[in-house]
Amino acid sequence: MNARIPTSLPFADWAKQVQSGMEDVLDRFLAPVSVVPARLHEAMRYTAMDGGKRVRPLLVYAAGDVFDTPLPLLERAAAAVEMIHVYSLVHDDMPCMDDDALRRGKPTVHVKYDEATALLVGDALQAQAFATLSAPLEAELATADAGMPARQLRMLNLLAQASGSVGMCGGQAIDLASVGMTLSLSELEQMHRLKTGALLRAAVLLGALGGKALTADESAALDDYARAIGLAFQVVDDILDATADSATLGKTAGKDAADNKPTYVSILGLGESQALAEKLRGNAHQALAPFGDKARRLRELADLIVQRKA
Neighbours of 269 (CB within 10 A): 12
Residue whose CB is less far from ligand GRG, 218 or 237: 237
Residue whose CB is less far from ligand GRG, 51 or 72: 51
Amino acid at 67: F
Residue whose CB is less far from ligand GRG, 100 or 211: 100
CB of 76 to ligand GRG, least distance (A): 19
CB of 292 to ligand GRG, least distance (A): 28
Residue whose CB is less far from ligand GRG, 14 or 67: 14
196: three-class secondary structure by DSSP: helix
Residue whose CB is less far from ligand GRG, 170 or 210: 170
CB of 12 to ligand GRG, least distance (A): 16
- Going by C-alpha positions, the residue among 304, 308, 181 that lies closest to residue 239 is 308
251: three-class secondary structure by DSSP: coil
Write the CA distances from 206 to 28, 64, 139, 176, 259, integer angstroms: 20, 8, 21, 28, 34
CB of 217 to ligand GRG, least distance (A): 29
Which residues of the shown chain bind ligand GRG in the complex (CB under 6 A)?
52-53, 55, 85, 88-89, 91-92, 97, 104, 168-169, 172, 195-196, 237
User: CA 264 to CA 251: how far, in whole Å?
Assistant: 18
Q: Which residues have a Cβ under 8 Å from the Cβ of 186 and sit 6 or more positions away? A: none
Residue whose CB is less far from ligand GRG, 221 or 229: 229
In the complex, which residue's CB is closest to ligand GRG? 52
Neighbours of 251 (CB within 10 A): 18
- Going by C-alpha positions, the residue among 88, 94, 92, 87 that lies closest to residue 112 is 94
User: CA 202 to CA 205: how far, in whole Å?
Assistant: 5
112, 106 contact by CB (below 8 A)? yes
CB of 207 to ligand GRG, least distance (A): 16
CB of 9 to ligand GRG, least distance (A): 21
- Going by C-alpha positions, the residue among 52, 72, 74 that lies closest to residue 63 is 74
Residue whose CB is less far from ligand GRG, 169 or 253: 169
CB of 171 to ligand GRG, least distance (A): 7
